[in-house]
Chain A
Amino acid sequence: MKNKANVLPDFPMGGIHPTERKELTEHLPIETMTDPSKVALFLKQHVGYPSEVMFNLISQLHSPEYYLEDNICKDGACGLDASEKKQVNEGELIGSTKNKIGASLHAGINGTVDGVFDTIHPVLGKAPAIIVSKSGAQKKPSYTRKDWTKYSKEELLSKINDAGIVGLGGAGFPADIKLNIKPGVFLDTLILNGSECEPYLTCDHRVMAEYPQDVIEGAKIILKILGINRCVIGIENNKPDAIAALEKAVADDPNPMGCDIFIQPLTVKYPHGSADQIMQSITDRVRPSGKRSSSIGIIVQNVYTTKTIYDAVALDKPFYERVVTISGRGISRQANLLVKIGTPLADIVEYLGGTTPDLAKIVIGGPMMGVAVSSLNVPITKATSGVLFLTKDEIGEDEKYGPCIRCGFCLNACPMGLEPNNIGVFVEAGKGADCEQFGFVDDCFQCGSCAYVCPAKRPLVQFIGLARIKIEEAKKKEEN
């Protein structure tokens, strides 16, 4: 740990200071949205295999690949007849990956399973999703707090698996797989990532400020699973209320179980929430290119994931609802909304009172790494941390990009030490395969810092993505 007096930990390379605009939602308490009339749960909303629909829900059972390929879901849907429709309750398991890598799916509302339909997906265009329509008695399940300390490591992991928890920072990697470290791997630190460096987003912030005890308990659960006792919660210094709440929760913890939990304020700088950057900033350790973070003895977990892990273990509550930041000036009311996974954006917009006339862009995720969508039929997925309704003023002009003027701003902004300027010029010249000399292109995690600062407004993130594809193609060609 760095011990410089009065200097907050920082990552040394690159980084930018975009306008935060968190003031829109950072003081709004978490608000529970009314249940939508239907939810659409993508079979695959995590890293790994798609979930299989539970066999008792749908009469014609196919493998998940069947739905993904050109078969039934190509243009329409695979619906169920009224007689086949099955009633499900809130929190009931409706999709599972069995023993493969993946995450289970749970119905968020009491209703009937309509079947598997092609649904608009923010990234893939279209993807199969289980549709559950609201019907029947709307009875909320109640969850009681249990003492989790008696569970063994395996029991804890299977509870996390049963709850279908994935990394909520954006990647969506199944949490139980991440925490199931092979014996013999040296670990000494758990870092809980509460930096939330993307502008606008405040859902992690609100969760930390409102559920500090849950986060601390979740940290203790993860520490028990990992068999270590040191945990650092890294939070950017622009969330003083979250830092204070967590510090109080640690100090007041009646049963610390020998865990050494430490709250570490961090410099406000984008992308501090990236795993590599937060690890380097807190521990000074650098992950070698192409290796897992466990190779340097660290596991990084998002704070909100930690809270859902606590819910799953202590309350036996599956992961079927999450806090999503709805922000931007293009919607009449901003909120930190607790929504059911699978809620279409249209219902959220309706709940919040509609969009403003100058709405120019809808972004799923943060403004730096999120995906723009054109339809309100897109459902919330497990990894959706925010939905932004941005106006023309906020996004600026959609200008045509100009030639690289070699200003070098992107070199100073890149946290991974790549040379986006040269990669862009090479890709434009059709020499994407020669870009490996400009840095480990695989290191790019698309933070968008280079494109943010580029005065010529060049799409550098996309150029780097193209270079990566070209390099892979060239390597395959060499092998053949």
Chain B
Amino acid sequence: MNSSAKDRIQTAERPYFNNLSVSFSPHFRSQVSTERIMWTVVACLMPSLILSMFVFGLQTLIITAVSVISCVMTEAISQKLLNRPIAITDGSAVITGVLLAYVIPPGVPYWMPIPGAIMAIFITKIIMGGLGFNVFNPALMGRALLMASYPVAMTAGWLTPIRDLSLDKYLNAGVDAISTATPLYVLKHYGLNGLIEKFGSLSTLYFDFFFGFSPGCIGETSACVLLVGGIVLLYKRYITWHIPVSVIASTAFFTWIFGGETYFSGNPVLAVLSGGVILGAFFMATDYVTSPNEKRGQMIFGAGIGALTVLIRLKGGYPEGVCYAILLMNPLVPALDQWFRPKRFSEGAS
């Protein structure tokens, strides 16, 4: 640059604003955030907890609280130890805690969720890379650990639902409750007639199962309130219908074919309303991280869960199979995502 040109250099006047944000596009975003989704799911799960407090007694609240606190603590401690940002406010550990409690029988000791929470959060989620990178559903891994480690407590802690609303029974529920068997256990070992003998007529069964007056895990008994929560999630478009519908339809379908004395004589309604099918279909199989992204993949994933559930219920050693069915389908998710890709725009070209 020659000197004459240098003389001509001028400094432009630049009125900068000090506090302006210059982040990248897009400059405004939808209101839906990870936190909002997670806490909405928690809110959608709460009616079940309230109902179970009425049906099984106050200890369901204590077990759920222990489970949630131990999950959140595990997450905070392990993230601290691994020098990761502590993300307990995003609500994912709370969901895991609530779901873990929901798949535990109401009559277990109060410390029971703690080992499950460590399994769910630390081993299944944090070690795999944290939120978004776990292969298996954390809450169900926690339950699987408890089932393997404490089989007696986990299969004998069923309580008879309280039907009358006398205060006395609530206050003493933990003491007075009589251990009982789940409908699925009765159905497996004594057949439909045994079930009717123990729980009343078929229409009573439908009513009790739908509204939640049957022995079972803390949060899975009432199809009614779970459906309300699930429909809220569907309405908010946080989940799509593909997974819940395919899980329920496939469970009903395979039960109808194989569930009875002869082929095509099973009772699909009872199969869907009993056990954890509704809870699993709406709240566990739809876990974003451990379910496929693409619609066709989701349908196959859901159908697989239903088929495995029926297989475990009818031929396996356990009376209930939703937990293991979901856990068995989870590792298939990367493959399903690989096989079923969204259609590319220009693939529509002829």
Query: In the bound complex, do residue B132 and residue A403 qualify as a contact, i.e. CB atoms below 8 Å apart?
Result: yes
The size class of the interface chain B forms with chain A is 35 or more
Q: Is B341 an interface residue (CB 8 A)?
A: yes
Query: In the bound complex, do residue A77 and residue B9 qualify as a contact, i.e. CB atoms below 8 Å apart?
Result: yes
A78 is contacted by which of B5, B17, B22 (Cβ under 8 Å)?
A: B5
B32 is contacted by which of A199, A287, A376, A455 (Cβ under 8 Å)?
A: A455
B346 is contacted by which of A289, A363, A396 (Cβ under 8 Å)?
A: A289
Chain A residues contacting B11 (CB-CB under 8 Å) are 76
Chain A residues contacting B294 (CB-CB under 8 Å) are 408, 411
Are A443 and B345 CB-contacts (below 8 A) given A117-B12, A372-B22, A402-B90?
A: yes
Chain A residues contacting B32 (CB-CB under 8 Å) are 409, 453, 455
Chain B 257-294: CB-based contact to A (< 8 A → 1; otherwise 0)? 00000000000000000000000000000001101011
Query: In the bound complex, do residue B15 and residue A346 qualify as a contact, i.e. CB atoms below 8 Å apart?
Result: yes
CB-contacts of B12-54 with A (<8 A): 12-17, 19-34, 36-37
Nearest CB of chain B from residue A274's CB, rounded to whole Å: 10
Query: In the bound complex, do residue B346 and residue A78 qualify as a contact, i.e. CB atoms below 8 Å apart?
Result: no
Q: Is A405 an interface residue (CB 8 A)?
A: yes
Q: Is A406 an interface residue (CB 8 A)?
A: yes
Query: In the bound complex, do residue A375 and residue B288 qualify as a contact, i.e. CB atoms below 8 Å apart?
Result: no
* Nearest CB in chain B to that of A462: its residue: B24
CB-contacts of B204-257 with A (<8 A): 238
Q: Is B348 an interface residue (CB 8 A)?
A: yes
Are A404 and B346 CB-contacts (below 8 A) given A71-B1, A459-B24?
A: no
CB-contacts of A449-465 with B (<8 A): 451-457, 459, 461-462
CB-contacts of A368-421 with B (<8 A): 368-377, 388, 390, 394-396, 398-399, 402-409, 411, 414-419, 421
Query: In the bound complex, do residue A373 and residue B349 qualify as a contact, i.e. CB atoms below 8 Å apart?
Result: no
A79 is contacted by which of B10, B19, B346 (Cβ under 8 Å)?
A: B10
Q: Is B8 an interface residue (CB 8 A)?
A: yes
CB-contacts of B172-199 with A (<8 A): none
Query: In the bound complex, do residue A403 and residue B8 qualify as a contact, i.e. CB atoms below 8 Å apart?
Result: no
Most-contacted residue by chain B among A19, A76, A119, A285 (CB, 10 A): A76
Nearest CB of chain B from residue A388's CB, rounded to whole Å: 7
Query: In the bound complex, do residue A377 and residue B12 qualify as a contact, i.e. CB atoms below 8 Å apart?
Result: yes
Query: In the bound complex, do residue B23 and residue A398 qualify as a contact, i.e. CB atoms below 8 Å apart?
Result: yes
Query: In the bound complex, do residue A455 and residue B36 qualify as a contact, i.e. CB atoms below 8 Å apart?
Result: yes
Given the complex of chains A and B, what is the CA–CA distance between A455 and B350 in angstroms? 35
B27 is contacted by which of A370, A404, A405, A446 (Cβ under 8 Å)?
A: A370
* Nearest CB in chain B to that of A416: its residue: B345
Chain B residues contacting A443 (CB-CB under 8 Å) are 344-346
A373 is contacted by which of B19, B22, B133 (Cβ under 8 Å)?
A: B22
- Chain A positions near chain B (C-beta within 8 angstroms): 13, 16, 18-19, 71-72, 75-79, 115, 117-120, 199, 276, 280, 285-289, 296, 346, 359-363, 367-377, 388, 390, 394-396, 398-399, 402-409, 411, 414-419, 421, 425, 439-440, 443, 446, 448, 451-457, 459, 461-462
28 sample A-B contacts, Cβ–Cβ < 8 Å, listed by A number: A18-B28, A72-B1, A76-B10, A77-B9, A276-B345, A287-B346, A369-B26, A373-B22, A395-B21, A396-B29, A402-B87, A403-B130, A403-B131, A404-B132, A405-B131, A406-B132, A407-B238, A411-B294, A417-B342, A417-B347, A421-B293, A425-B132, A439-B344, A440-B345, A440-B346, A452-B30, A453-B30, A456-B33
